[in-house]
Amino acid sequence: MKIIQNNDGSGTIVFNEQEKKLIAEKGEFFLPAKFLKDFSNVLIKLAVDVSNKLPDDLRNKETKFDKDTGMPE
């Protein structure tokens, strides 16, 4: 998996052929505890890096979550 962020703050997640095949066949990923711990640290760093590239007006905008789904509105 590769995450490519554009200068305007938008981005694309690209999966290679092996990753696409695994997702199609299994429909899930199993992450052992140690890997999940390390991966979560990578995601936190990614979140900071992404936030730093966002335009100021977007970076400072509050994210509101749907009370039923927990997803951003």
For the record, the structure tokens of 64 come out as 């509101």
Q: What parts of the chain have a pLDDT lower than 50?
A: none
The pLDDT assigned to 73 comes to 87
The pLDDT assigned to 20 comes to 94
Q: DSSP labels for 26-46?
A: HSS----HHHHHHHHHHHHHH
* Helix, strand, or coil (residue 70): coil
What pTM value is reported for the model?
0.60
Round the CA-based radius of gyration of the chain to a whole number and report it: 15
